[in-house]
Amino acid sequence: MKTDIQFRLRIRRGDEVVIGPGKIALLEAIAATGSISAAARTLDMSYRRAWLLTDEMNRGLTMPVVEAKSGGSKGGGAALTPTAMEIIARYRAIEKIAQKAAQQDLDALLGMIAR
C-alpha cells in the first residue's frame, strides 16, 4: 500500500476558508478546463458547489481570482486572473518548503508506519 504525505494549509477569514487545498484544486481545474462547470465535473463536485467556492474566493480576496468569459458559438467559460495564478504558485511553493523543512521528521514518522 502506498504511503502519501499531504500538507493541508488553510487560510481563514472569520469562519470562511479563503484559501485552502480544495479551492486551490478548483482553481487548477478551472485553469485546465477553461470552465467552472468542467472543473466541477473533473473534481466530482456540483456546479453550484464550485460556483460558491469561486464566489467565496472572489469576495474574500482583494482581487478576483476567476473571471467569466463571454459566450461564443461554444458558450462562455472562465479564466483565472493573474492573482489566481500567483495564489496557486505561492500555495504550492509553501507546500514544498514545508515538506523540505520537515523532511527529517517525516522520514522518522514514515519509518514507524507498517509496510
The pLDDT value given to residue 74: 63
Domain-located, residue 115 = no
pTM for this predicted structure: 0.87
Own/partner contacts of 71-78, CB < 8 Å, gap of 24 or more, are: 76/35, 77/34, 77/35, 78/30, 78/34, 78/35, 78/36, 78/39, 78/54
The pLDDT value given to residue 73: 58
Domain-located, residue 1 = no
CATH number at residue 44: 1.10.10.10
The pLDDT value given to residue 4: 84
Domain-located, residue 3 = no
Domain-located, residue 63 = yes
The pLDDT value given to residue 25: 97
**Range list of β-strands (E), 4-92:** 11-13, 16-19, 66-72, 75-80
pLDDT band at 72 (very low <50, low <70, confident <90, very high): low
- What's the mean per-residue pLDDT of the chain? 92
Q: Which domain holds residue 26?
A: 11-110
Total structural domains within the chain: 1
Residue whose C-alpha is closest to residue 9's, from 82, 100, 104, 99: 99
